[in-house]
Structure 1
Amino acid sequence: MRIRKEAELEWAIQKYDVMAKGCQYYSKIRNMFHEARGEEDYDKNFQCIGRDREFSLFEESLS
């Protein structure tokens, strides 16, 4: 399950940025990881975190 390791690594890198966005958002992502059962779920989690990171970087570039 290579995607699981990649997703968990991305989560480890991003979790404090995610927490800064708010407790509710952090809880959503945390629950997604707790509920993940297979590669498809971890891929979805990985994509979700990546999209959020790209959007944050885009927002920063506008300011």
Structure 2
Amino acid sequence: MEHLAPLADERDSKHLMAIVDKLVLNLKQYGLYLQYLLADGGFSSGENYSALEARQIKGFIPLHGSYHPN
């Protein structure tokens, strides 16, 4: 992945679709297609769920803040 360090002060969820779009282009060069995406809760947002659905990518991202330790 390209340099993502400058993004460290921002929410991960803000950058997910830019990362996905670059990944889709890279995979397409090899005749591969992104069908499923697994990410941690930091990438959770309604906008990302909607954008993944529009791209016909099944996203497995837990809802932000849904973890509750026992």
Do both proteins adopt the same fold according to a TM-score greater than 0.5, normalized to the shorter chain? no
Return the TM-score normalized by structure 2. Answer: 0.29
Comparing both structures, which one devotes a greater share of its residues to helix?
1
User: Which structure has more strand as a fraction of its residues?
Assistant: 2
TM-score, normalised to structure 1, is: 0.30
